[in-house]
Amino acid sequence: MLLINCPFCKNRNETEFVYGGPVGVNRPDPNISSDTEWVEYLTLVPNPTGPVQEYWWHARGCGKWFAITRNTVTHDILETQDGQ
Amino acid sequence: MQNYSLFSLAKNAFTGHRNWQKAWRSPPLKDEYDVIIIGAGGHGLATAYYLASEYGITNVAVLERGWLGGGNVARNTVTVRSNYLRDQSIPFYVKSVSLYEGLTKNLNFNMMHSKRTMVDVVHNYPKMRDLRRRQLTMDIYGSSYEQISTEQVRKLIPALTGGGANSRLPIIGGMVHKDAGVNRHDAVAWGYARAADSLGVEMHQQTGVKSLIRGTNGNIEGVDTVKGIVKAKKVIVSVSGHTTTLTETAGLRLPLRTMNLTAFVSEPIKPLVDVIVNCSDLGFYFSQSDKGELVIGGAPDSGQSFRRDIKQHVFEDTVGAMLELFPAFKKLKLLRQWGGHLDITPDASPIMDETSVSGLYVSAGWWGGYKAIPAGGLTMAHQVATNSPHPLMADFSFNRFKNLDYILETGTTTAR
């Protein structure tokens, strides 16, 4: 069980949150990007044995979206980034 | 290979079981092989066996970081079935189920295969419609699926006392998949290893691969292991969750992310449930093992994970769901829990293909790879031996992402 530090509610139980997927690269402009770039944007995510950045949504709490950096092996949360 | 039979059992009993041969050799690591397979799990060992038996390629080494059969082939719920959704998936799993059924005889190793039927317990009409659609597709490919009434569900599973008309989620019916079964995971790994070894394939345990080595022309040239560099023109990566960890060393990025899937077993009880029970609406499935333990599977953890333990709340969700239908299980003690790594693709179907690095193959993206072991091994061996994809696996390529030609597969056990 993760203890996730919501920027608004502070430390709350993981069960209050919904996982929002890994933080990928910014959406490329489809008018100028190549097919390869577009497919990479759609399918590739970082998969490290170590820190990964991911979105969480405090769905059963304040409703805030934000990002955390979490270690995929130890599950330690290293950093919380306040999203928009 | 020493033949296992009633006669050999009796003969060895008279000599105090001191004269059994080792199931496989432990030869010294050579400098070069025709094919290197990384990962002595189900898929790696099956690939090695079919390379040798079907395609005559025997100068093969299987390199394993830990011990043989100690990875995901030992960390699953041993469910073998073919009730999938897509035209590409069903024939592949039908082939795999039929290969499993002949495995005991072909490998001369008792797989303890028990073809015991799977029952999907259904709680809502959209799900029932979805499963009936699946039934029509499965009919085309010779897999069996049949709708049954609530009364028939309760007759097949007498222990199912919850889910009545006044419950939170009443049962409205079920589906029966008669091809499904369970077997023994150790026997699958050991049986393939022993048979492959007898054909000349070498098993190297405690031989972790640190990185893949590419030649000046960009093609694969070998691997760097903890025991030194080993060369090969063809390298197959079948390491499940750590696929990307390895392929990154060859400068590749693959559309995979690793997750952890929950399973646990109860204390052994007397025979109570003789089918595999799956309830995707509530999110759990289980079968009773020959030892009497209930083998229970749940949903994957949220987010990427390289851990092999399970989260308390995922465990509680799964148990809570199970108790809704089986309130009598409340008093059961749970003995063991484990997680297994899944490397998930964007469409939840596997990838079996040569990568953009010539000579480097991956068998990855398995969600429920245990049931796919025989067909996965056979088709990967075909591709490596003939340089052309096996018809059953041709669609599970990297190109499907490039062409946005996804095989969206929600045929996994607890997928909702």
Domain ranges of chain B: 6-109+184-255+347-402, 118-177+258-344
A59 touches chain B (CB under 8 A): no
Cα→Cα distances B341→B45, B46, B72, B107, B408, Å: 18, 19, 7, 27, 20
Which of B257, B318, B397 is most worth mutating to test chain A (most A CB atoms within 10 A of its CB)? Answer: B257
Q: How far apart are CA B323 and CA B326, in angstroms?
A: 5
Q: Residue A84: pLDDT band by 50, 70, 90 thresholds? A: low
**How is residue B220 annotated by DSSP?**
E
Q: For domain B118-177+258-344, give the CATH number.
A: 3.30.9.10
Chain A residues with beta carbon closer than 8 angstroms to that of B346: 42-43
Q: In whole numbers, what is the pLDDT of chain B averaged over residues? A: 94
pTM (two decimals): 0.95
Give per-residue pLDDT as tens, B282-292.
889 999 999 99
Give per-residue pLDDT as tens, A24-81.
888 999 899 999 999 999 999 999 999 999 999 999 999 999 999 999 999 999 999 8
Domain spanning B6-109+184-255+347-402, CATH architecture:
3-Layer(bba) Sandwich (3.50)
A45 touches chain B (CB under 8 A): yes
Q: Which of the residues in chain B have pLDDT under 50?
A: 416
Q: What is the pLDDT of residue B290?
A: 92
B401 touches chain A (CB under 8 A): yes
At B320, is the secondary structure helix, strand, or coil?
helix
Where would I find the H helices in B227-340? Answer: 243-247, 312-325
Q: What residue in A sits closest to B300 (Cα-Cα)?
A: A19
Q: What residue in B sits closest to A20 (Cα-Cα)?
A: B303
Question: Same CATH topology for B6-109+184-255+347-402 and B118-177+258-344?
Answer: no
Containing H/E element for B383?
A: helix B373-386
Give per-residue pLDDT as tens, B5-51.
999 999 999 999 999 999 999 999 999 999 999 999 999 999 999 99
Say how many C-beta atoms besides its own lie within 10 A of residue A62's C-beta.
12
Please answer whether residues B85 and B226 qualify as being in contact, where contact means their C-beta atoms are separated by less than 8 angstroms: no
B307 touches chain A (CB under 8 A): yes
Chain B residues with beta carbon closer than 8 angstroms to that of A37: none
**For chain A, which domains are there?**
3-82 (3.30.2270.10)
Which of B75, B54, B67 shows the shortest CA–CA distance to B384? Answer: B54
As beta bridge partners, residue A10 has A6
- Predicted ipTM? 0.92
Q: What is the pLDDT of residue B387?
A: 95
Q: How far apart are CA B50 and CA B64, in angstroms?
A: 18
Q: What is the pLDDT of residue B416?
A: 42
Q: How far apart are CA B330 and CA A21, in angstroms?
A: 35
* Of the partner residues A15, A42, A45, the one whose CB lies closest to the CB of residue B313: A15
Q: How far apart are CA B261 and CA B304, in angstroms?
A: 11
Q: What is the pLDDT of residue B182?
A: 96
State the smallest CA–CA distance between residue B345 and chain A in angstroms: 8
φ, ψ for residue A79 (rounded to 5)? -160, 145
State the smallest CA–CA distance between residue B406 and chain A in angstroms: 11
Whether A1 shows a pLDDT value over 90: the answer reads no
CB contact under 8 A, A49 and B245: yes
